[in-house]
Amino acid sequence: MNDRQDFTCDSLEPGDDQRLLSALVDGELSAPERAVVEAQLAADPEAARRVAHYRAQKTALQALFPKPAAVPSLFLQRRTPWWRLGVSALACLLAGIALGLGLGTLSLGVDKPAFAQRADMAYAVYAPEFSHPVEVGAGEQAQLVSWLSRRLNRPLAVPSLQEYGYTLIGGRLLPGEAGPAAQFMYQNKMGDRVTLYVTVFAKHELTFGTVQGDGRRTIYWASRGMGYALSGRGNEASLRMIAVDTCNALGGHADSWSG
């Protein structure tokens, strides 16, 4: 009989916390164990910050030493020099650690960009929609990515959020501040949704920041002249983890990383 089948919060030994949090980050926990640990994180901000820190380290290492088999086929990106991958990993690592430590918006006196507010509003409008949450469904993912890439005149990518239990359900074209924007929507088995908003952004680089309102959270950043915003509800620590991983997957780098 597997000893893990009787796993509960009460079964945690004092020295087990770090092992369990590391196992969560590495995907080594069973579904029941993961549910218990995530419940613990929701009630323990310090543990949630540690997990965000561990995830930031993991994504940085994965970018420094990528496995060819792990590259999604729909990542429409040019080959990136190894040195740029290292800088990218460091950027997401530092920004992710800042998020994990609860530093929130690292704006350094700069106002929140308009695209972050638009992304937050787009989530508020379309995430609750039952009949038509997206224009093009995930069943036509290749066409969706090609269409939105043409409209934004940039090669777009759809990062996988399967690790967090979210599956792409589709996307739509939206008006941005100075041109078109794209919104990709994901949903988990409980019906919770997160969205990734993408638009051209004049400022080449922008570190993580947060917009909050009415139970929503939008974490935004910019890289290579593109603005990104991840919006959702619920566990803030989980959203932060997803944002850091998404930043890394989309190739963020730190040539002029600033707030």
Mean pLDDT estimate for the chain: 74
Higher pLDDT, 241 or 56: 241
Higher pLDDT, 43 or 137: 137
Confidence (pTM): 0.60
* pLDDT-above-90 percentage for the chain: 38
pLDDT tens-place string over residues 119-147:
999 999 999 998 899 999 999 999 999 99
**Residues 259/207, Cβ–Cβ less than 8 Å:** yes
pLDDT at site 181: 96
pLDDT in tens, 84-112: 444 445 555 555 544 544 444 333 334 78
Taking the alpha carbons at both ends of the chain, their separation in whole angstroms is: 52
More confident residue, 194 or 36: 194
- Tokens 């640990």 correspond to 37
74 has pLDDT over 80: no
User: Which of 122, 117, 154 shows the shortest CA–CA distance to 135?
Assistant: 122
